[in-house]
Amino acid sequence: MLRPESPELLSPANYDGDAASLRSPSEQDSDSEDDEFLRHPRSTLELAKHDRGVLDDEDELEKLLTRRGPTHGLRRMFSPNGSSVRIGRKERRRARKEARLSRRERVSEEGELMYEMEEGIGDDESLMSGSSIDLGEDDYIYNPPSKPSWRKYSLIFALVVVLFLILILGAYKASTDFRAAHALSKPLLSNGTALFAPTTILISLDGFRADFLDRGLTPSLNSLVADGTSPQYMNPSFPSVTFPNHFTLVTGLYPESHGIVGNTFWDPEMKEEFYYTHPSVSMLPKWWNAEPIWVTAEKRGVKSGIHMWPGSEAHIGTPEPTYVDKYNGSEALSRKVNRVLEFLDLPGAEDESQLSPARPQFIAAYVPDVDRDGHNYGPNSTEIETTISRADEFVGGIVAGLKSRNLTDVVNIMVVSDHGMATTSNERLVQLDDIIDLGLVDHLDGWPSRGIRPKRPEDLATLQAQLEKASPNYAHAFEFYTRETMPERYHFKHNDRIAPLWVIPKTGWAIVERPEFDAAEALKTGKVYHPRGIHGYDHEHPLMRAIFIARGPAFPHTPNSRLDAFQNIEVYNIVCDSLGIDPLPNNGTLRLPLHPVGLHSDENTPPVERPADPPAPASPTVVSPEPTSPASDAPTEPSASDADSHAEKGSWWGSLLDKIVEWKEWAGELITADKNNHPQGA
């Protein structure tokens, strides 16, 4: 067995001076045989094979290496049992070269192209195996890697896409935090104990007519006017009803643009009816076709707290408000005060590192009381005076809460209303059944204005002709329009939810249909028409005027500043600017800072208009139109003289009571005006 210390192999006596090999005496005679073996390429290849085989046979390996051991350029190798041997570098390189040549393509007997495998020729264990031989760098044969398949490329591409999406989502989340941080990066105001980012409270007093401020019932609101800035009045949008105008206040869009075109309306595409008193229907997001300010604010990292605002429960867009209070029409006003102040008492941006404070920056609160009692008792009733006073106390409670928290100059407060109110009367009723054939009508939209949708397209011309025929007798009571002839200032034509034909009553008038209410029968019996107060008329009529009052750091105007009157489409931009967020495109044009035109107390300030209710006609408007169709069985209205006799026989007492109420209201307005002109201590 060959060993590293074998004197026969390593002794200088075995070195022949050829510098080519070290040979043992026993192998000298085989030299010529090996030389012949190496002279031919194929023989060299066989040597490579033989070498590999010998490596597995210890005796044969010993013989080969002792015959061909080099004297220079030696490389140490190990036999399978760990013995040390040496082979010539020259022979090894030559063998490798011939092996590469032999691996070129060869053709088999059948003519097929064959290739040798990279691991070696034959089925034996590779020379590269660490268990058989330890070779140097130049002993390896380079084998270029195979090209990746299309499946691998697809997998890599998919991984890149997934990573890209993950980066996008992460960037979005980071941008949300950045927007919140950006909102907080605006100057923070301190009340001495906490830091406040721009914060605005928007309060809506539903049905609060502008001239209610001049009845001596609203000290808190009048004080807010004296400390802040306001116009003498603000015009609502048409139609001047609650849901369209509240959505206009928080979108800056006309009703025809945001889609809530009335408190009730028919959608011809969905073939469904929106009815504001049915939350299971009206609070579905499909009706609300614009983004309200609370969604815009939340997208920009500004939290919102919404207290019963009409439409806030409809899940309009995402993200939704941080806080939403479900509508409760019977909630006490004192509880509403506490709720608004609870929002302000939540933890806020006490330091700039807090990117997501709990305190909302936009707070909206809705008060239905004035509108409710205006409908129930009328805008000039004794009951409504009490309700107006309580609404004023509500605002006073919030103002006092701001003051006690040292937030008067830190938090903005805006008080608005959506419309005014007009008194109804039995003498100001129009019986629609007696003017048009309701048998041709599929849907009646809106109230008190009536949108008429015919059953068939050809019925539209018939209904329009009937209205044209009756209108001379009702010129003082209503106007009628097609959608195309609607006055431009109404901005009420570019939406399929707007009916093709409209009967719009004059302010103070109401349109009724049997069997809900029979106007002629009421005149006979003295039955009083309800509701006692109505809105929804021409939005520019004095009785429909609303209010806008603002005070706070976003309104650094001279106290008691007076603005020119504007329409409520402007409120949205003003609120957005007060919060430091960019508004979405809308119909408004006003932006902060506002530009007052003077003070309310200036001598050249126009006097406050105190509109009176429309007077009752000299005789009830009961006309006997010709039958709308030969088959119509609608009763013919009595003539004016007959109506007078009926009034004398049955309804004179009701008319007298109405007159007494009107005289009382007139006297009360005179007393109020005198108090305003001669305040105590002046």
Tokens 């941006």 belong to 349
Six token digits for residue 482: 């097609």
What is the secondary structure of 423-463 as a DSSP string? E--TTSEEEGGGTS-GGGEEEEESSSSEEEEESSTTHHHHH
Q: Which residues are catalytic?
A: 242
Tell whether the torsion through CA atoms of 251, 491, 542 and 479 is positive or negative: negative
* CA pair distance 196, 35, nearest whole angstrom: 98
Whether 535 contacts 420, CB under 8 Å:
yes
Query: From start to end of 280-411, where are the E strands?
Result: 304-307, 323-325, 362-367
* CA pair distance 488, 501, nearest whole angstrom: 15
* CA pair distance 1, 470, nearest whole angstrom: 132
Tokens 């807010």 belong to 224
Give the containing element (helix H, strand E) for 347. Answer: none
* CA pair distance 379, 423, nearest whole angstrom: 6
* Residue 257 identity (one-letter amino acid): S
C-alpha Rg value of the chain to the nearest Å: 48
Give the containing element (helix H, strand E) for 201. Answer: strand 200-205
531 in helix, strand or coil? coil
663 in helix, strand or coil? helix
Six token digits for residue 357: 């404070």
Six token digits for residue 537: 């008329």
